[in-house]
Amino acid sequence: MLLLNLFAIRRLDTKEAVGLYWAPDLETLWWMVEAIVDPDDCEYCVVDAPAAITWPGEVPAIGVERGEDDKSIEALSRDVSFEFALSDVLHCEIIKGWIQMPSAPEPGEEYPEILRELCGKVGDDGLR
């Protein structure tokens, strides 16, 4: 079973929300964020407490095939509720701080050492 970490991502300067990401490690997280925004402009927080995204009330079914004109996704997006640790992140009640995303490598360069270390890609001898 693959265990994933939950990360809250926001822009470094404006604190504007970028998203909530489930990823196995920081390398995967970096690539996921990079598909949306420049990771150099972001910071992350690990959500390491129980968290939930819920839909209180009546909403469409999930995990079912949808037609092209189905408005269910809009309804699910509109009626979403963030609970437990996700509510804490949204209301600035997190215990751990925000960490700036590691910088991207320049063409031809390796990943920054901090990214390789955090992703478990560097052994005691510095090689992997």
**Residue range 76-104, pLDDT digits in tens:** 888 788 888 888 888 877 656 889 988 76
* pTM as predicted: 0.72
State the average pLDDT for the chain: 80
Per-residue tokens: 25: 């490690």
Give counts: helices (H), strands (E), the chain. Answer: 4, 6
Compute how many other C-beta atoms are within 10 angstroms of the C-beta atom of residue 112.
Answer: 13
Phi and psi at residue 61, in whole multiples of 5°?
-65, 155
Which pLDDT value is given to residue 96? 65
Q: pLDDT value at position 124?
A: 42
- The pLDDT, as a whole number, for residue 60 is 87
